[in-house]
A and B are shown apart, each in its own frame.
Chain A
Amino acid sequence: MARAYLGEFEELVLLTVAVLDSDAYGVTIAAELNRRTERPVSLSGVHVALYRLEEKAFVSSELGSPTAARGGRRKRIFTVTTLGKHMLSDMRELRNQLWESIPLPFIY
């Protein structure tokens, strides 16, 4: 395969990172996904997905400022990289093409 494979959950996480803009870290991403999908999203799953995305260079990260709610620990803020943005638009393009190729009438 030419480019890295992206799983469904990873795609969701990547999109959420994009949505949350400059406030994307473990807890907020999990909360956002929870709110939108209404399925139980665990912190560990989010973290695993984030680290995988980072390994594939779709997101980058840096350490943010510590807060009292976190017991004085810093958070890792994730942002979508250019490669990540290309990936997202490529996938969207692909899906749109697929949608358009579906012969009518299509019941949904």
Chain B
Amino acid sequence: MAEQLSEPTPPNWANFFFKWTCPSEQHEEIIGDLHEQFTIDASALGEAVARRRYLIQVLKFSLPYFLKRKINALSEPATYPTPFFVNPDMIKNYFKIAFRSFGKNKGYTLINVLGLSLGLTITMLISLWVWDEWMFNKSSKNHQYVGRVMLHSAQNGSIVSSPNMPFPLAAELRENFSADFQNVAISWDTQDYSLLSGENKFRKKGRFMEPDGAKILPLEMLKGSNTALTNPSHLLLSESAALSIFGTRQPIGQILKIDNELEGMVAGVYKDFPQNSDYYDLSFIAPWKLFASGKRMQWVNDLKDNWNVNTFEILVQTQQNSSIETASEKIKHVLLRHIKESKHAAPIPSLSLHPMDKWHLYSTWENGRNTEGQIYYVKLFAAIAIFILLLACINFINLSTARSGQRAREVGVRKAIGSKRGQLIVQFIAESFIMVAFSMLVALLLVQLTLPQFNAIADKKIGALMTNGAAFNIHLLFIGAAFCVLVSLVAGGYPALYLSSFKPVNILKSGSASTARVSSLPRKILVVLQFTISISLVIGTVGVFRQIQFGQSRETGYDRNGLIYVKIPPATKSLEALKNDLLQSGMIASVAQSSGPVTDILSNSRGFSWQGKSAIDQDDFAVIAASHRYGETVGWRILQGRDFSTDFVSDSSAIIINQSAVKYMGLDNPVGKTIRWKDGTFNDSEYHIVGVVQDMIMQSPYEPVKQTIYFMTYAPNYLYIKLTPGVSVASAFSKIRPLFDQHVPGTLLDFQLANQQYDIKFKVENRVGKLSFLFAVVAICISCLGIFGLAAFTAEQRRSEIGIRKVLGASIASVWKLISKDFVYLTLIAIVIAIPVSYYFLSQLLAKYHYRSNIPWWIFGGSGLAALTLTIFTVSYQAIKVALTDPVKALRSE
């Protein structure tokens, strides 16, 4: 029996290698020649020799001549045109086919462009916002070396962090840590002041700093030098402030009077800080020495060597060879050396540095640790942006794959005449790129148009693509281009892979691809995903708005209506005369004095003791000076005891505490009890409680009200005015403003309406609410566009089926049900998934608030029902349209 020997064949791996190195247009003839030679050699010299020669030949063919041709073939059309896809003719063809197919399906094209441009607009807006937030405080050249000293002290069993430092610490850091710190400066918070230039009055924000502060920030000087602050009668102005105060006049050398008291000469002008900086509104910087020379500022000088009173902000700039982290570690226990024995036997606080890069994004402290802050919203919004973009991509994917039947024949013919799969993939991706690029143009236009509104909602000043034709937001272009590529790959990738996988034989034999059914599962999953995201966003939005309402409905404990307060500059002489004149104007129901505004707590103190005090560190109170009639003016509610009264001379040592204080101190019967206040610096006296008031929300409406002590003191800082009921704010101002001008000359006063100031407390929540509302609406719109397109496709595909059904007697309702059923199921699944997902995220969001609204079931039920209704409406349009068509028309067209 003859042995069946197979033909000897050359090694496959060599062929593979050769295919890779050989120019494709010559591959066939050369490999053919090689093979023929191999066959000849194999029969003449044996297979082993033939193989060896074959390999040597393959290597020889891979010499520079052929490699060069291979490389050239990749870059330009060679003698024999390569079917390489980056080829001007093919690209022209892609465009032609793309536009034809867009033109043929105008409806779907419109849905795709609408969905994509909506999604891209929102995503780009959010990206601009995220970028702006991310770059917060990072514009200055030495931002990574700048930090603020933080003090962490144990209170009530947890660690409380604050930026308030003892005064001598600055000198200590400067002298003993000069290896780590290049500059150290004591600074006072940015505050609102009145500036007087000649006869003109302005209200500007400014801060007082030690000379090195100008180098730490650092100031970019336009005029003058940043060392000007060493002279206690010099001050620096921002460019915009100089312009608004002096116009075109030379600002240098002009005299400004701060709060009609502190006089300084403008010695320099610095460039304004960018909008995304903590110092964006810093209009002037004045020397610390000028601050300390103020009429009511003697206490600053008294604290020069006091390590126990923490009041001042200290800014530092580390040396180039040190870093915030290493310096932070070194100064941790500095206070141990200086506070010999703790005055209340409480543990001595530790120090750390808070880097400037984190001031904005990581602003909160929990138990001595720097935790989150704004970064939470940055992450949240970035995630939402990605989701919204995903929604738009899903529309594109679904509509492309659903209608793949239409393209199937094209794919079949293309493959039959020699298209490779790679080429088809490139073609389809190119097609989606054209669509995405067009949507991007629309989106850029929309961004340009909506950026002002978005800025208003988000409280930003982000520049548009064209700002007055001059400025130009380069980030927007980069973001746009990046998204263009990303979206066309994400949205076009799957349809391209899917469409190009069709087998030409199957398609051409059957006339059309029966593939629609196979691909409907991924499509359904994507629709469910879309609706899950949209419904979750809706639920989240409702949750945020409920939380705002919850905060707003919390009882404030005082009456904000017609309540005005104004900060009185220290130089004011005759408050009593002013008050008398005000009361005689007939506009005012009552007037009172206090140490701070009614919507904030400026001062906290320790060192209180009372009978029955338990824990040693349990004596942190908010302290507020309240004059007679303070209670009447703000409208607080006395729960026990009485208000301060002029009838009792002993009221000079009277105090009133709030409900929280009663609870905090653990007093059963507070009225009549005595409290001793000894803080080691200013006070050592005894006070007696005359009354208990209902808690007043002066700080965050989402936080518990702080234990507060109201002292009967005529503090000269703030004047509270309660308008006579029925008097409008405008008419009251026209009467009382002249009185203020007369009694407080040379100062532009900053009147605040308690109502407005209180509403500012909801700013962040309102912003988040408005933005998430916007996101939810866009998400819903995109999702509905998607199912609208899918429903149209289903209706179109089942035209003849429905025709037959109608001929056999199906009612309109049953046809409508037939089409809508699938979509309703998908929405129901989405609702079921969205409920736990959104519950999780919403409860996480609300966990940030101490006082938070509950999450009732109707949020989920209502949002789900709304989504379902919307789905039915969207689908019904198509379903009813197809149900109403004349079956004759549908069937005859077959």
- Residues of A that sit less than 8 Å from B by CB: 25-27, 30, 42-45, 47-48, 51, 54-55, 63, 66-67, 69-71, 73-76
Contact = CB atoms under 8 A, between A and B. Distances in A.
Given A42-B57, A44-B61, A26 B33 contact: yes
29 contacts: A25-B29, A25-B33, A26-B30, A26-B33, A27-B37, A30-B37, A42-B57, A43-B30, A43-B33, A43-B34, A43-B57, A44-B61, A44-B63, A44-B66, A45-B60, A47-B30, A48-B66, A54-B79, A55-B79, A69-B35, A69-B39, A70-B36, A71-B10, A71-B31, A71-B35, A73-B28, A73-B32, A74-B32, A75-B29
B401 to A, nearest CB: 38
A69 B35 CA distance: 7
Contact of A47 (B9, B40, B61): B61
A1 B60 CA distance: 31
Contacts of A73: 28-29, 31-32, 35
B65 interface: yes
A44 B60 contact: yes
A44 to B, nearest CB: 4
A26 B37 CA distance: 9
Given A27-B40, A48-B65, A69-B39, A75 B60 contact: no
A26 B66 CA distance: 15
Contact of B36 (A27, A45, A54): A27
A75 B33 contact: yes
Contacts of A69: 35-36, 39-40
Nearest to B39: A69
A75 B10 CA distance: 17
A54 B34 CA distance: 20
Given A42-B57, A44-B60, A44-B63, A74 B28 contact: yes
A63 to B, nearest CB: 7
Given A42-B60, A43-B57, A44-B61, A27 B9 contact: no
Contact of B33 (A27, A45, A51, A66): A27
* A-B pairs, 10 with minimum CB distance: A73-B32, A26-B33, A44-B60, A70-B32, A76-B29, A71-B35, A69-B39, A44-B61, A70-B36, A27-B36
Contacts, number: 66
Interface in B294-331: none
B812 to A, nearest CB: 62
A26 B29 contact: yes
B535 to A, nearest CB: 60
A74 B39 CA distance: 15
Interface of B: 9-10, 26, 28-37, 39-40, 57, 60-61, 63, 65-66, 69, 79
Say what secondary structure dominates the interface of chain A. Answer: helix
Contacts of B57: 42-44
Contacts of B36: 27, 67, 69-70, 75
Contacts of B26: 47, 51
Contacts of B61: 43-44, 47
A39 B818 CA distance: 83
A21 B26 CA distance: 22
Contacts of B31: 71, 73
A30 B41 CA distance: 13
Given A27-B37, A27-B40, A71 B63 contact: no
A70 B10 CA distance: 11
B9 A71 contact: yes
A42 B65 CA distance: 14
Q: Which of A25, A45, A69 has the most CB of B within 10 A?
A: A69
Contacts of A27: 33, 36-37, 40
Contacts of B65: 48
Nearest to B30: A47
A43 to B, nearest CB: 5
Contacts of A74: 28-29, 32
Given A44-B60, A48-B65, A74-B32, 12 more contacts: A30-B37, A43-B30, A43-B57, A43-B60, A63-B29, A66-B32, A69-B35, A69-B40, A71-B10, A73-B29, A74-B28, A75-B36
Contacts of A30: 37
Contacts of A48: 65-66
Contacts of A66: 32
Nearest to A61: B29
Nearest to B27: A73
A30 to B, nearest CB: 8
A71 B60 contact: no
A51 B68 CA distance: 13
A30 B30 CA distance: 13
A56 to B, nearest CB: 12
Nearest to B15: A71
Contacts of B35: 69-71, 73
A76 to B, nearest CB: 4
B32 A71 contact: yes
Contacts of B79: 54-55
B68 to A, nearest CB: 11
A54 B57 CA distance: 22
B743 to A, nearest CB: 101
Nearest to B56: A42
A57 B221 CA distance: 73
B779 to A, nearest CB: 57
A76 B36 CA distance: 13
B5 to A, nearest CB: 16
B370 to A, nearest CB: 69
Nearest to A42: B60
A94 B551 CA distance: 107
Nearest to B34: A43
Contacts of A42: 57, 60
A25 B35 CA distance: 13
A70 B9 contact: no
Contacts of A25: 29, 33
A102 B289 CA distance: 111
B836 to A, nearest CB: 61
Contacts of A45: 60
Contacts of A54: 79
Q: Which of A30, A42, A55 has the most CB of B within 10 A?
A: A42
Nearest to A31: B40
Contacts of A76: 29
A43 B37 contact: yes
B333 to A, nearest CB: 79
Nearest to A66: B32
Contacts of B66: 44, 48
A25 to B, nearest CB: 7
A47 B33 contact: yes
B556 to A, nearest CB: 90
A108 B39 CA distance: 42
